[in-house]
């Protein structure tokens, strides 16, 4: 690899994060199962993040992180995991 250290780190991170988005779409699982409509969007998004070399790496890394965090938050909000957990006393009532 040739270039500045920050550029090399950026390109490695963008490939890893782009392939993570791609593989989440391909396998249909991130932290929970992913619905088909979202999988159809994630597969080309992951490919584009990994292979669009016309754009600098750091904005692509940021976009990939936004996508991954968005999937995670969507999955946990859909299952109500962000609701306030009640203690054992509330369960016994």
Q: Identify which has the larger pLDDT, 78 or 92.
A: 78
% the chain with pLDDT above 70: 83
What is the DSSP secondary-structure string of 27-76?
Answer: HTBSSSB--HHHHHHHHHHHHHHHH-TTS-HHHHHHHHHHHHHHHHHHHH
Q: Is it the case that residue 92 has pLDDT exceeding 80? A: no
For position 21, what pLDDT does the model report?
92
Mean of pLDDT values over 44-64: 92
Q: Map out the domains of the chain as residue ranges.
A: 5-83
Mind listing the pLDDT tens digit for each residue in 65-89? Answer: 999 999 888 888 876 665 555 545 5
The model carries a pTM of 0.75
Q: Is it the case that residue 90 has pLDDT exceeding 60? A: no
């Amino acid at each position: 690899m040739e270039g500045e250290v920050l550029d090399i780190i950026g390109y490695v991170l963008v490939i890893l994060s782009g392939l993570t988005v791609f593989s989440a779409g391909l396998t249909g699982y991130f932290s929970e199962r992913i619905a088909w409509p979202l999988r159809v969007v994630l597969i080309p998004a992951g490919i584009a993040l990994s292979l669009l070399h016309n754009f600098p790496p750091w904005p692509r890394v940021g976009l990939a992180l936004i996508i991954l965090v968005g999937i995670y938050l969507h999955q946990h909000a859909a299952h109500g995991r962000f609701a306030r957990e009640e203690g054992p006393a509330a369960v016994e009532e």
